[in-house]
């Protein structure tokens, strides 16, 4: 920064709760992932924001989404590497990703979607011991100035409302 530059900060204090709850990326502590903890909690899907349950995989809203309806698809079994999934898990994982895309398109009508995995800590996997596929709806202009200047995103809808819309779209398809 040069002499006349001013550094502005927009605090996202809620983020520290999330960061401390999942532990360091690629947590080698032996503790179960946040996803295993959610599944073991016994809480209802409406409280945990699980929007779909299959035989070997499920879909859950990202608690700290990049965009409204940012959904994660993952196996129940905690596994970090794609090649370690069983054939049944692979088949259901990708089938559930396809169903998630359909539900998001039906509920939100995005102009596009990002679908992808971050495998391993260096790839950006924040919970790298439990692989998960991100399905993120996108609209032209959705990367606004807040992300570029303040490392902050504006999410215009509460997670329970998003989950209800996706559940309704899921059951309609």
Higher pLDDT, 22 or 30: 30
Choice among 52, 70, 130, 132 that is catalytic: 132
Q: Is 132 a catalytic residue?
A: yes
Residue 141: inside a domain: yes
Report yes or no on 24 lying in a domain: no
Between residues 114 and 171, the one the model is more confident about: 114
Tell me the CATH number at 149. 3.30.428.10
Residue 25 lies in a domain: no
Residue 89 lies in a domain: yes
E strand segments, 6-157 = 50-53, 57-61, 71-75, 112-117, 133-138
pLDDT at 22: 46
On whether residue 19 sits in a domain, the answer given is: no
**Which domain covers residue 43, as residue numbers?**
32-172
Q: Is residue 111 part of a domain?
A: yes
Sheet holding 71-75, edge to edge: 50-53, 57-61, 71-75, 133-138, 112-117
Q: 24-38, 80-94, 103-117: lowest mean pLDDT where?
A: 24-38
Tokens describing residue 76: 């129940």
Please count the structural domains in the chain: 1
103 within some domain = yes
């Amino acid at each position: 920064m040069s002499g006349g530059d001013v550094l502005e900060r927009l605090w996202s204090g809620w983020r520290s709760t999330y960061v401390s709850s999942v532990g360091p990326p690629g947590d080698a502590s032996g503790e179960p992932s946040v996803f295993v903890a959610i599944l073991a909690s016994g809480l209802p899907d409406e409280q945990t924001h699980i929007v779909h349950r299959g035989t070997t995989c499920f879909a859950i809203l990202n608690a700290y989404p990049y965009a409204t309806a940012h959904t994660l698809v993952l196996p129940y079994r905690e596994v970090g590497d794609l090649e370690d999934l069983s054939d049944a898990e692979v088949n259901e994982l990708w089938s559930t990703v396809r169903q998630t895309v359909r539900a998001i398109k039906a509920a939100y009508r995005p102009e596009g979607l990002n679908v992808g995995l971050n495998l391993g800590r260096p790839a950006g996997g924040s919970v790298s011991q439990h692989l998960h596929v991100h399905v993120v709806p996108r609209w032209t202009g959705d990367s606004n100035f807040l992300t570029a200047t303040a490392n902050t995103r504006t999410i215009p809808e509460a997670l329970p409302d998003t989950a209800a819309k996706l559940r309704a779209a899921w059951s309609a398809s």
